Structure 1
């Protein structure tokens, strides 16, 4: 299987809906027009494709100079554990290697923690940083 990567933000709304629903990120698909607009207004989007099928995506917001925030990284369940998320993450980290602050917020789970730690991230519960979030 050959996975192709693309930097276009022009992704069909139906493809986004399938990907986000597949990983049960249903809060995003309650308003598909907002999701489509969020994708288009992101600093950077890299998508992963198996032919015409959208199988993964990473989305970054921020200024691209002093901070990036990895907002979304997701891969269809059928394509998980094949290194696609790692490739997406590495492409973003390579693109923004000059940026000092690379931030993300995610739920706690052993496999999630392992993924981010193997990609060079450190949890704010370890070390001298503290993280705060206000969710509506």
Structure 2
């Protein structure tokens, strides 16, 4: 049975293992990743016993805009509705905000977010600066 929480009770090692399980580069920087999560507005997590199996991170401004930075689920646990449950928890928490935004890193993931009411912005263009 999967359990969900908004408590930031994860360890640096658990976060590293989850991010590496999906092949995300941020998992190669566990100290910075852990600090980023601890300083995030909201982090919802999914647990199978003591194993961190899913995570959704939100950055918000306290009242108007919430930005979903990422949603990820360990491949061994994908297909069980975990990511969808995390998104629904987030939507519930941020229901009073004017905007909830997400920028999927890969366009193939847009259809996942559309299932939860997200729409492609009419004139929006994703932009970023990558400092490596």
Q: TM-score range by the shorter chain?
A: over 0.9
Alignment of 1:51-66 (within 5 A): 51-66=49-64
The residue number in structure 2 matching 1:94 is: 92
- Give the conservation status (yes or no) of the 8 Å contact 1:10–1:40: no
Equivalent of residue 114 in structure 1, options 98, 111, 114: 111
CA distance, structure 2, for counterparts of residue 61 and residue 35 of structure 1: 14
Q: Counterpart in 1 of 2:20?
A: 21
Contiguous gaps of at least 5 residues in structure 1: none
What is aligned with 1:11? 10
Q: How far is the alpha carbon of 1:131 from its aligned partner?
A: 2.6
Picking from 119, 126, 130, the partner of 1:132 is 126
* 8 Å Cα contact 1:73-1:85 kept in structure 2: yes
Is contact 2:3–2:48 with CA below 8 Å preserved after alignment? Answer: yes
1:30, distance to aligned residue in structure 2 (A): 2.6
Rounded Cα–Cα distance in structure 1 between residues aligned with 2:126 and 2:48: 37
Aligned length: 129
Residue pair 2:27, 2:33 contacting (<8 A) in 1 also: yes
The list of structure 1 runs, each at least 4 consecutive aligned residues, that deviate by more than 4 angstroms after superposition, is none
CA drift of 1:103 comes to 0.9
Question: Which residue number in structure 2 is paired with residue 68 of structure 1?
Answer: 66
**1:104 CA displacement:** 1.1
Check whether the contact 2:20–2:28 (CA below 8 A) recurs between aligned residues. Answer: no
Quick one: distance in 2 between partners of 1:76 and 1:69?
Answer: 22
Q: TM-score, normalised by structure 1?
A: 0.90
SS of 2:107 mapped into structure 1 = coil
Q: 2:9 & 2:119 partners in 1: Cα distance?
A: 32
**Aligned-residue CA RMSD in angstroms?**
1.1
